[in-house]
């Protein structure tokens, strides 16, 4: 089975003049199933716009995919055929015993809009001021005020949630401008925005906590003791500290990489990683993690290019996680 050619990349100028308007890629709205078909039609359009069959075609190899099952789960064997999660490994058992994680969302009832005083510099400042309730807070970032979810109970509180997936309600296959400014709802699925996160992380040292949960309710964490984004002039390049946690490290491979979207290909691969993986990320060549990919219901999915919400070291590249969240907090000495 020979992989299909990728066609060209989608440069910003091409996008601007080819009918790829923001409305087509707008975030938000729509049930998950509609979302997928919407995205499929978008992919089809993009492929028509970037045909690979014309004369002088450029041969673009398919992106290298991460193992279907994490190496840590298969014990170093090369058996990638274990799509079925039934044989629980020791590691899985350990994770299950830890129970589900306290996910940064209110349980049961809608979020109570907590807008005490503020706007705050960040969620840690609100926490220090005595606001111990998790919810939507207003943060002042430069000249702008943005709404963000503050997680004020988990591990001492003071966390600003910068990304959250949980139900597929928001389309994350979108353009640079959306990733820059942010999209979605702070009490639901959302992306805070590259510029706000750059602002938040340019004031001092920050840590990053990644919370993951699979469809069996198993949780895992990846913690990095440093996290910041360079300014837009450097394409919001990722700067990451040391990893620790039980999820496995699927982000350090993306360290020092610029952010790429379907219309801003800054990855280190000849094709367009964002197009293959249908998200925006600090793509390399291409992705060990893809938390802004397509939210596939049920976990295991079949797709040639691994476009799911995955963290390779936790459940492999062919398993789309049910929940994912990224939280940052200033480091305290």
Q: Which residues bind Ca ion (CB under 5 A)?
A: 265, 267, 269
Measured at the alpha carbon of residue 212, what is the angle toward residues 163 and 30, in degrees to the nearest 5?
A: 55
Nearest distance, CB of residue 101 and Ca ion, angstroms: 34
222 vs 274 by CB, closer to Ca ion:
274
Q: What share of the chain is helix, strand, coil (3-state, %, to 5)?
A: 25, 20, 55
Nearest distance, CB of residue 305 and Ca ion, angstroms: 14
Torsion-angle region of residue 22: left (phi > 0), alpha (psi -120 to 50) or beta? Answer: alpha
51 vs 99 by CB, closer to Ca ion:
51
Nearest distance, CB of residue 201 and Ca ion, angstroms: 25
187 vs 267 by CB, closer to Ca ion:
267
Residues 6+ apart with CB under 8 A from 265: 9, 10, 11, 272, 273, 274
Nearest distance, CB of residue 93 and Ca ion, angstroms: 40
User: In terms of Cα–Cα distance, which of 54, 66, 132 is closest to 276?
Assistant: 66
Number of other CB atoms surrounding residue 278 within 10 Å: 26
Residue 36's SS3 state is helix
Residues 6+ apart with CB under 8 A from 290: 277, 279, 281, 306, 307, 308, 309, 310, 317
236 vs 269 by CB, closer to Ca ion:
269
50 vs 136 by CB, closer to Ca ion:
50
Please report where in the chains the tokens 């219309």 appear, as a residue.
Answer: 263
11 vs 145 by CB, closer to Ca ion:
11
Instruction: Please list the residues that pair with 330 across neighbouring strands.
Output: 206
């Amino acid at each position: 089975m020979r992989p299909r050619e990728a066609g060209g990349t989608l440069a910003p100028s091409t996008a601007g003049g080819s009918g790829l308007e923001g409305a087509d890629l707008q975030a938000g709205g729509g049930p998950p199933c509609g979302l997928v078909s919407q995205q499929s039609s978008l992919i089809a359009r993009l492929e028509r716009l970037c045909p690979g069959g014309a004369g002088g075609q450029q041969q673009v190899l398919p992106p290298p995919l991460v193992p279907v099952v994490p190496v840590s789960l298969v014990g170093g064997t090369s058996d990638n055929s274990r799509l079925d999660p039934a044989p629980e490994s020791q590691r899985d058992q350990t994770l299950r015993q830890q129970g589900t994680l306290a996910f940064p969302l209110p349980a049961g009832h809608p979020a109570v809009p907590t807008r005490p005083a503020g706007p705050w510099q960040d969620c840690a400042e609100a926490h220090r001021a005595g606001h111990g309730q998790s919810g939507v807070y207003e943060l002042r970032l430069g000249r702008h005020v943005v709404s963000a979810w503050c997680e004020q109970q988990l591990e001492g509180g003071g966390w600003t949630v910068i990304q959250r997936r949980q139900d597929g309600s928001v389309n994350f296959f979108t353009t640079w401008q959306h990733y820059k400014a942010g999209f979605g709802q702070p009490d639901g699925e959302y992306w805070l925005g590259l510029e706000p996160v750059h602002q938040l992380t340019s004031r001092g040292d920050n840590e990053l906590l990644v919370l993951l949960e699979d469809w069996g309710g198993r949780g895992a964490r990846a913690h990095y003791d440093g996290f910041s984004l360079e300014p837009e002039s450097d394409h919001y390049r990722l700067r990451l500290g040391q990893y620790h946690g039980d999820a496995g490290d699927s982000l350090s491979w993306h360290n020092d990489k610029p952010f790429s979207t379907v219309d801003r290909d800054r990855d280190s691969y000849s094709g367009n990683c964002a197009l293959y993986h249908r998200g925006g990320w600090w793509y390399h060549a291409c992705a060990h993690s893809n938390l802004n990919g397509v939210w596939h219901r049920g976990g295991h999915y079949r797709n040639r290019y691994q476009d799911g919400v995955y963290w390779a070291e936790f459940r492999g590249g062919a398993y789309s996680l049910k929940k994912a969240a990224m939280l940052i907090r200033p480091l305290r000495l």
